[in-house]
Chains A and B, each alone.
Chain A
């Protein structure tokens, strides 16, 4: 993917990001609400009460904006899809940016 503007690479990025966004926006409301692996074990073996929010987690988290995977201040049906949309774009941007910063500094010769 040396040449970002090549149609083949553009197509891959659009398809990849597009399908991730589609999953996060349109499929997330249909996710199973059964307790998952560790939840279930914690419930069955009675240690779920030990879960607590550490004060530092409280301070550092974006709980003013999100209530877990739901955007606050919007109608309930779109709260989770919007949280998915934002989260997907944030990790996409951060990972791309991190890669760009690291690889840019590299002095290795171009791919042979």
Chain B
């Protein structure tokens, strides 16, 4: 994602550039993302309290900054945080989705990171899969491993973060295949083999961020641990 050594390549990371997706795939992913964003706008308007507002700003800032930092993975590749699961855990799926959408729009318009025609797909793959899929998986795991204990929080956070990256890679591969850019089996094998590893980075960074908030301001977590709120 960092540009200076790559300035000849107009694309980075899991960010899909213009030209990789055909028109129907661009359109369908855009419509689907728009629908989820519209629902998210409604839900935030109806349900969120003022306390979530500063956290939306802070979460967007952290996800944007962290997405700039590519970490190396064995085999001469790199990856960076996607942040959708983190945003979902901190802000819930609705405000979390809006924050991720803001990040991807700014990346596309200001920094040409990801193509405009692929914006819907990028928001869906790297944002909404985490803020919805990652969030609900985290919540289910947290209930099974202990909702108000760090063990449940940690298991839910790490597994959901890793899974969201792997699912993002699967969706990206399927979109590339349907667009006729690369055969499905080739895309799936190649994307998954790297993103199994990149997902570990996602899990560790998400876990570190969630751990910090759990220790300092557990009341800010969307599903705050009841025991910590009322000691």
- Using a CB–CB cutoff of 8 Å, the interface residues on chain A facing chain B are 1-2, 4, 8-9, 12-13, 16-17, 19-21, 23-24, 27-28, 31-42, 44-45, 47-48, 50-54, 56-57, 60-63, 65-70, 76, 79-80, 83-84, 86-96, 98-100, 102-103, 105-106, 108, 110-111
Contact = CB atoms under 8 A, between A and B. Distances in A.
Interface stretch (B16-24, B135-143, B147-155, B156-164): B16-24
Nearest to A105: B45
Interface string B1-18: 111111101111111111
Contact of B17 (A34, A37, A52, A62): A52
Nearest to B69: A31
B16 A68 contact: no
A1 B191 contact: no
A31 B60 CA distance: 19
Contact of B115 (A21, A57, A79, A108): A57
Contact of A51 (B11, B54, B60, B116): B11
Contact of A48 (B9, B44, B186): B9
26 contacts: A12-B58, A13-B54, A13-B58, A20-B62, A23-B69, A31-B71, A31-B78, A32-B2, A37-B13, A37-B169, A38-B15, A40-B190, A50-B20, A51-B10, A51-B20, A52-B10, A62-B109, A69-B3, A69-B68, A84-B65, A87-B110, A96-B57, A98-B56, A106-B48, A108-B47, A111-B49
B106 interface: yes
Contact of B51 (A2, A89, A102): A2
Contacts of A110: 49
Contacts of A70: 3-4
A21 B186 CA distance: 39
Contacts of B2: 28, 31-33, 69, 80
Contact of A32 (B9, B20, B78): B78
Given A12-B217, A95-B59, A98-B98, A88 B64 contact: yes
Contacts of B187: 41, 45
B50 to A, nearest CB: 6
Given A34-B70, A50-B20, A102-B45, A40 B110 contact: no
Kindly name the residue among A16, A33, A52 whose own CB sees the greatest number of chain B CB atoms within 10 A: A16
B30 interface: no
B62 A16 contact: yes
Nearest to A85: B65
A13 to B, nearest CB: 5
B78 A17 contact: no
Contacts of A102: 41, 44-45, 48, 98
Nearest to A104: B50
Given A16-B58, A38-B191, 19 more contacts: A1-B51, A1-B53, A9-B54, A12-B217, A12-B220, A32-B78, A35-B6, A36-B79, A45-B187, A47-B182, A54-B117, A57-B18, A61-B108, A66-B110, A68-B113, A70-B3, A95-B59, A95-B98, A99-B57
